[in-house]
Amino acid sequence: MYIQWKKTYETGHPLIDAEHRLLVMFFRKLDVAIKTRESRETVLRIVQEVSCYVKFHFTSEENLMHETNYPGIKEHMAVHTHLLMELNKMINKLTTCREFPEDVLDFLSDWLTKHIAHHDKLLASHIDSAPDRPVAELIYPEYLQATVSQNSRTD
């Protein structure tokens, strides 16, 4: 497979890491669609799905930044904005057959590994030491426990 989750991608923040794992899953879904020569329409729908999830993830991270008064919020949000602009350009080219799906996947995979390594690890470190706690911390352990309990019943 093109991209797989690696321990080095972990930031140490459970919510950020869970969302990053989902990003990798969506990227792998796109990779499989490309490699199995799914229809152009299917690939385009998956790219749109990836784009929607990326937007959601950025909003989620930005909420964490606001909730914990992250000092690098403007810079981090600018990185998100730039990525979305580039992704939208690529999607527009892809829909008009001026871009290859593999190039979109390369771009996303490269971005993810670099973004996590630098920006998101800084954010996670800030959240760990921030006096203001993110709202997600109140419900995330409960969600994880329910998921673990459900998985152990189905195994």
Segment 122-132, tens digit of pLDDT: 999 999 999 99
pTM equals: 0.85
> What span, in angstroms and rounded, lies between the C-alpha atoms of 7 and 127?
20
Question: Which burial class, exposed, middle or buried, applies to 85 when counting CB atoms under 10 A from its CB (0-12, 13-18, 19+)?
Answer: exposed
The lowest-confidence range among 74-88, 95-109, 130-144 is 130-144
Q: Mean of the per-residue pLDDT values for the chain?
A: 88
Q: What is the pLDDT of residues 2-11, one digit of tens each?
A: 678 888 889 9
Distance, in Å, from the CA atom of 16 to the CA atom of 10, rounded to the nearest integer, reads 8
Each residue's pLDDT tens digit, 71-89: 999 999 999 999 999 999 9
- Name the more confident of 117 and 32: 32
Please, what are the domains in the chain?
15-143 (1.20.120.50)
User: In which band, very low, low, confident or very high, does the pLDDT at 133 lie, cut at 50, 70 and 90?
Assistant: confident
Extract the tokens encoding 34: 């490309």
Q: What is the pLDDT of residues 20-71, one digit of tens each?
A: 999 999 999 999 999 999 999 999 999 999 999 999 999 999 999 999 999 9
